[in-house]
Amino acid sequence: MSPTALVTGAGRGLGAGIARLLSADHDVLIGGTTADSVATVAEELLTATPWPVDLTDADALRAATADIESLDVLVHNAGVADLGTVEELSLADWRHTFEANVFAVAELTRLLLPALRRAHGHVVLINSGAGLRANPRWSAYAASKFALRAFGDALRQEEPDIRVTSVHPGRIDTDMQRAIVAGEGGEYDGSRYLTVDTVARAVRQAIDTPADAHPTEIVLRPR
């Protein structure tokens, strides 16, 4: 029986790249907000199953996780980036950012802890360079990623039978990055950024690390 992995935000970009690499030897649940958002990747991969759910809807999340009895890998990739100065960002912006980047991660992990414990599983948190430092206009996003790192640090100590890896990539050449650069008023040049495949391979390497080692943190920067 193949191990099972759940990748959130796997309908495109980095999440899809991670799902493709894991599908070689895992049964992969393709997480996304809607059925349409995950259909293409789920159909592409023979060992994949669509897993559409709004991660910020607690009731929907509870129902979607109810039948997952054992889980070897949980990759938290879904997230949002609301950028602006402290003066510009509203309370609603801050709440939106933390709902997606922190609260949804914490609740999904909590619901899946029995399944992860049963498999001696691995939780991978796709964090950011912004989880290590904060720059102008990135206050809400960076604060959410600092919180995500703290969540991972606590989970790692509380659950000794589960491995927890925080991955801090620099900017990645994705559609989300295009939107960020457009919001910053810059000109997009994907060659300046990490490729999806590079970051996905780093995640796969962490998951493949032999069981006697615990890869706690990975930091990647464009050369």
Q: How many CA atoms lie within 13 A of 132 on its CB side?
A: 14
Q: Which sequence spans correspond to the domains of the chain?
A: 4-209
User: Which one of the listed residues 141, 146, 151, 193 is annotated catalytic?
Assistant: 141
pLDDT confidence of residue 199: 97
Q: Which residues of the chain have pLDDT under 70?
A: none
pLDDT for 175 equals 76
CATH of domain 4-209: 3.40.50.720
Report the distance separating Cα 131 and Cα 209, nearest Å: 23
pLDDT of residue 188: 77
For residue 116, what pLDDT is reported?
98
Q: Which residue from 61, 54, 98, 71 is spatially nearest to 159, judged by alpha carbons?
A: 71
Give the global pTM.
0.95
Strand partners, 169: 220
pLDDT of residue 187: 85
Nearest of 89, 187, 192, 78 to residue 137 by alpha carbon: 89
Q: Are 42 and 49 in contact (CB under 8 A)?
A: yes
Residue 188 is a catalytic residue:
no
